[in-house]
Amino acid sequence: MEWKTQKGLLQIVERRDVEGIRELLQSWRRPHEEENFDEALRKAYLVMFSPERNVLSSEAFDGRKGEDGKGPSSSLNRSFWLFVASLKKFVEEEGRLPVSGKLPDMTSDTESYVGLQRIYQSKSRKDAEKLASYVDRIAHETRTETMSAAQVQYFTNLAPYLSVQRTRPLEDELRSCSADLERALKEESSIAHLYIFFRAADMHLSESLGNIVEDSSKHFVELQAKSMQILSEMGMPPGSVNIWREGLLEFLRYDGSEIHSIASILGGIIAQESVKLLTRQFVPVKNTIIFNGANATTTVLEL
CA 110 to CA 103: how far, in whole Å?
13
Could you tell me the CATH number of the domain that includes residue 244? 3.40.50.720
- Mean of pLDDT values over 194-223: 74
Q: How many CB atoms lie within 10 A of CB 147?
A: 23
Are 146 and 207 within one domain?
Answer: no
Are 159 and 180 within one domain?
Answer: no
pLDDT of residue 58: 57
pLDDT one-digit tens code per residue, 42-87: 777 676 666 665 565 556 565 444 444 333 455 567 788 888 888 8
Helix, strand, coil: what percent of the chain each, to 5? 60, 5, 35
Nearest-5° Cα angle at 84, 276 to 79: 65
Question: Is residue 63 in a domain?
Answer: no
Print the domain residue range for 92: 73-164
pLDDT one-digit tens code per residue, 227-263: 888 888 888 776 666 677 777 888 887 777 788 888 8
Are 118 and 204 within one domain?
Answer: no
pLDDT one-digit tens code per residue, 97-155: 888 877 877 777 888 888 988 998 898 889 999 999 999 998 888 888 888 888 888 88
Question: Is residue 30 in a domain?
Answer: no
CA 51 to CA 236: how far, in whole Å?
36
Question: Is residue 47 in a domain?
Answer: no
Our count of domains for the chain comes to 2
Of 164, 193, 208, which residue sits at a domain end? 164
Question: Is residue 176 in a domain?
Answer: yes
Contacts of 3 (CB under 8 A, 6+ apart): 9, 12, 17, 20, 21, 24
Are 118 and 145 within one domain?
Answer: yes
Mean of pLDDT over the chain:
78
pTM score > 0.75 for this model?
no
pLDDT of residue 9: 46
pLDDT of residue 71: 37
Q: Closest Cα to residue 228, out of 216, 217, 243?
A: 243
CA 229 to CA 204: how far, in whole Å?
12
